[in-house]
Amino acid sequence: MKKLLGLIAFSLFYSDTIYPQCDTFVGTDYTLGKVFVFEKGEIVWSHDAPFSNDVWVLDNGNILFTTGDGVLEVTRTNDTVFHYVSKSMIFACQRLENGNTFVGECNSGRLLEITPEGKIVKDICILPEGVNDGGKPFIRNARRLDNGHYLVAHFGGKKAVEYDADGKSVWSVPVSGGAHSVIRLPNGNTVVAEADAAKNPRVVEFNQKGELVWELSNKDLQGEPLKFIGGMQYIPGTGLYFTNWQGHGPNEKKPYLFLVNRDKHILCTFPAREGIESFSSVYFPQNIETKIYH
C-alpha cells in the first residue's frame, strides 16, 4: 500500500498538470538564453538573455536579469531602463532599496553597487590573495543582506560564505556538491542550493553556528527527480520554490520547478514542456496583479 501511495503521489506531482501555485512567474532559461514571463499556461513575453541565471520583478513591473556578461532592466514593452556590461561572467543581480543595483561579478570576484546612471559607488573584491581571475565557477548567485553584508555561493569552492561590508569572511559552510544559490531566512538560518558535483543535488539549511538543520534530496522524493538545484525563492507562508536545472548530462525532462514546504511535501511542480529547455532561476511576484499583468 505504501508503494502504491508513492506511485500515486509521483504521478500527481510529476504530471503535465500545472497547479495554480506554479502557473504565473518570470523565469530564466539558461540553455536557450532567454528570460520569459509565463502566465496561466503559456509564455506571454520573452527577451534574449544569454546564460541568464538571476531574475527579479521590480515594484514598477520591470524585469531585472543577468545576461551572461551583464545586467539588464527592461519594461514589458522592451524599453531598456538599466544596462551594465562587464568583461566578467555575471550570475547575480539584485535591486537595492536605495535604487542602486547589486552585481556579483564571477571572474573578477567583485561585489558591486551601481547607481541607476551606471556609476559604481561600491567595489569589493573577494578573490583570494594572488588570484586575478576566479574563473567561471567562482561566484554563482549572491545577495546583499540588510546589514550590508554579502551572502555568496561559491560553486567551484564548494562553500557558501557571508562577507562583511569590507569583504572579510565572517561565516562559512562547506557545500560538497557546489553552492549555486543562497537565501538568508527571517530566523537567521541560511538555505543553500547544492548542485550536482557530488552527485547528490540537495537543498540544505544551516543555522548561525553552521550546523545542518534541514535538507531535501532525492532520498526524500519518489523517482529521484532532482538533477541540479539552481535558483530559489522563499515566500513566507507558502514555501520554498527552487529550480531543477537539466544541464549537466542528458536532459531527462525531470520537473523544472518545485514548491515544497517545511515538511518536505511537494505543493506543486512545473513539468518539462515544449519551448523551454531548462530553468536556472524563477521569480514569483507577491502581488501578481500589479507586478505581472499589464
Q: pLDDT per residue over 111-167, tens digit each? A: 999 999 999 999 999 999 999 999 999 999 999 999 999 999 999 999 999 999 999
Residue with cell 538533477: 227
The pLDDT, as a whole number, for residue 253 is 81
Residue 255 is classified by DSSP as -
Domains (ranges, CATH) in the chain? 2-291 (2.120.10.30)
Residue 5: CB atoms within 10 Å: 10
For 220-261, how does the pLDDT look when each residue is reduced to its tens digit (9 = 90+)? Answer: 998 999 999 999 999 998 999 999 998 777 777 889 999 999
Residue with cell 544541464: 247
Nearest partner of 68 among 89, 48, 47, judged by Cα: 89
Burial class (CB in 10 A: 0-12, 13-18, 19+), 16: exposed
Residue 270 has φ and ψ, to the nearest 5°, of -115, 115
Contact in structure between 54 and 91 (CB atoms under 8 Å): yes
Q: Is the pTM higher than 0.75?
A: yes
The pLDDT, as a whole number, for residue 259 is 94
In angstroms, how far apart are the furthest CA atoms of the chain?
63
The pLDDT, as a whole number, for residue 286 is 73
Find the length of the chain: 294
